[in-house]
Amino acid sequence: MKKNMMAVTAGILAGLMCATPVLAATTESGHTDISLYVPNEPAYTITIPETVTLSATEHTQVPITASDVKYIPDGKKISVTFLKGNGTYGRLYMTGTNEETGKNYLMTLQIKGTSGEFKSGALEKQIKGMELASFTADGTMNYEVYPCSQDYP
């Protein structure tokens, strides 16, 4: 019985060897080429004006320019946001002095960024962190500023 069992086992092994494809090693090349993809860091230059002259009667367009934009990943963007204003709750105030009377005045400014809505910084209309412009390539976007309340002589 043992002899028959060994003969059957040997026959099965021989059959498996015939059914299994034999892969020959390549003798021409004894190495594997492996490359590593390291994505480039995003690179860009953002230009924001140092000074802005506001109109007392019209909305003022303030340009933000992105140039030399490279390696921005798909689905990502450069976002330019407003950090905070100089007043309470992050509001943006402009102060000055009336040249004729010498009396100080204060103006609260409203800003409209990418949301398309003017905001002044008061609680639900918060301007801290609001997006002023966004880019995925070279270009210029404007945000708008205007005085919403004027407390001056």
Whole-model pTM?
0.69
How does pLDDT run across 14-69, given as a tens digit for each residue? Answer: 554 555 555 555 556 678 889 998 889 999 999 999 999 888 778 999 999 999 99
CATH architecture of 43-151: Sandwich (2.60)
Domain extents in the chain = 43-151
pLDDT at position 66, please? 98
Average pLDDT over residues 68-95: 88
Give the contacts of 53 (CB within 8 A, at least 6 positions apart). Answer: 60
pLDDT at 54: 86
Q: Which two tokens stand for residue 111?
A: 């800003």
DSSP characters over 98-122: -TTT--EEEEEEEEE-TTS-EE-SS
Tell me the pLDDT of the chain averaged across its residues: 80
**133 by DSSP, 3-state: which?**
strand
Q: Is 38 exposed, middle or buried (0-12, 13-18, 19+ CB in 10 A)?
A: exposed
